[in-house]
Structures are given as C-alpha cells and as structure tokens.
Amino acid sequence: MLLSAFHKYENQLDKVRFIGVHTGHLGFYTDYRDFELDKLVTNLQLDTGARVSYPVLNVKVFLGNGEVKIFRALNEASIRRSDRTMVADIVINGVPFERFRGDGLTVSTPTGSTAYNKSLGGAVLHPTIEALQLTEIASLNNRVYRTLGSSIIVPKKDKIELIPTRNDYHTISVDNSVYSFRNIERIEYQIDHHKIHFVASPSHTSFWNRVKDAFIGEVDE
C-alpha cells in the first residue's frame, strides 16, 4: 500500500507527508500498529509539521530512439534480460568499472536495502546514509568472466550507469511496477533531489529495532 501511495504522489513529494501503519507485514516505514489508530489521530491533532525524511532513487532509461524514461523508486530498481544472460558495462562517475554477466542487477536505496537487495546478499544500510547500493543477481564468475562479486555502495553525489551490450528486450522493475524496453542505450541511477517525508511520530521506532524484529526476533540472553 505504501509503495502505491508513494508512486501516486511521487510528483508532489515536497508537498505531502506519509504515515505508515503496520498491518502485519514487514513495515520499515511504519510507526503505528493497526490497533493504535486512536493514538495516531491524537498525534495528528497535535502535529507540529515535524517530519522524517528518506532518500529516493532516480532512474533514467535512455532508449535508442531518443526517448528518455524517468522513474522514481522508493526501494529499488532492477534490470534483467528477458530470456538469457545479461551483459552490461558498469560505469561509475564516467569511469568504466566492470563488464557484468549474469541474471541481472539491482540498485537500492538505504530503506530498500532490507528488501530484495538483502535477499541477494546485499548490505543493510541505515536510512540516514544517503547512498545507493548496486547488487548483482547471479553473476557469472569463472576464469574467463570476472566481476567484483559483492555489493557496491556509492555516495549521494555519485552516478551509476549501466550500458547493455545487446539491443534486445530487457525487463526493468521499479518497486512493484515492471516494464519491458528494447534498444536501451544506457540507464542512469542517482539519489533523487526530492525525498519522501513521513509524519514524525513521538513513538518513533529505531531502524535497528525494526531490522531486529523483522529478521532476528528476540535475542536470548
């Protein structure tokens, strides 16, 4: 629900604040449980305009016909080749870094680092760290083909470019939306100049408590 709300208002991020309500699923943006709605209403009545802000991913897809598709992602954006191994050059700040061969690549925000990125073996980043994380999806690594084989974390002002070496169809997912494009010249990933803002809660749950509750549970003494 939150992803749908984000994409509905992604062009008005400076004008709106979001509220997350935990309804039983993993909720890294939520400060209220579904049985705390009365508490939520009371806090809204006392609202001072305070907010908590998190980085957003900006994705630009440059097509061979001159079109540029622009997306924003709250969690991550991934690219895969439709039917076979994907081959793409990775460029960071204009510097060629490596040629990737494998199933695909995903770029995540700090808050998105606990989602698909984590299942791929990526690192968990605290949301106050304004950075992007590039994580491989089943890379080919042998004596002929080599990649770094680990996630890459780049700071706020850096830009990641992916340049597919083949002009056939690639599948691009942006949060919960999926697109198919042919003849992609390159894809650029950067921290967006807009952020997502949440209503600050007096009972704000720390990020590490959320991570512990979601993946570890109670720790035995």
- Condensed to tens digits (0 to 9), the pLDDT of residues 160-196 reads 999 999 888 999 999 999 999 999 999 999 999 999 9
Judged against a pLDDT cut of 70, whether residue 91 lies above it is answered with: yes
The reply to whether 2-53+195-215 and 55-193 are identical in fold is no
Mean pLDDT of 33-47: 77
- Under the banding of pLDDT at 50, 70 and 90, the label for residue 24 is low
Judged against a pLDDT cut of 90, whether residue 39 lies above it is answered with: no
Judged against a pLDDT cut of 90, whether residue 2 lies above it is answered with: no
Q: Which regions of 83-130 does DSSP assign to beta strands (E)?
A: 86-92, 95-108
CATH classification number, 2-53+195-215, choose in 3.40.190.10, 3.40.50.10330, 3.30.300.90, 3.10.580.10: 3.40.50.10330
Quick one: pLDDT at residue 151?
95
Nearest to 100 by CA among 182, 30, 9, 170: 170
**Fold observed for domain 55-193:** Tumour Suppressor Smad4 (2.60.200)
In this structure, the number of other CB atoms found within 10 A of the CB of residue 170 comes to 23
* Domain range annotation of the chain: 2-53+195-215, 55-193
Judged against a pLDDT cut of 70, whether residue 155 lies above it is answered with: yes
In this structure, the number of other CB atoms found within 10 A of the CB of residue 136 comes to 25
State how beta strands 170-174 and 76-81 pair.
antiparallel
pLDDT in tens, 187-208: 999 999 999 998 877 666 678 8
Distance of CA 139 to the CA centre of its chain: 20
- Give me the chain's average pLDDT, please: 89
Mean pLDDT of 57-66: 97
- Under the banding of pLDDT at 50, 70 and 90, the label for residue 132 is very high
The SS3 of residue 207 is: helix
The SS3 of residue 75 is: coil
Look at the chain and count its residues.
221
The residue type at 213: D
Q: What angle do CA 113, 108, 213 make, to 5 degrees?
A: 15
Quick one: pLDDT at residue 183?
94
Instruction: Determine contact, residues 219/208, Cβ cutoff 8 Å.
Output: no
Q: What angle do CA 65, 70, 71 make, to 5 degrees?
A: 140
The SS3 of residue 113 is: helix
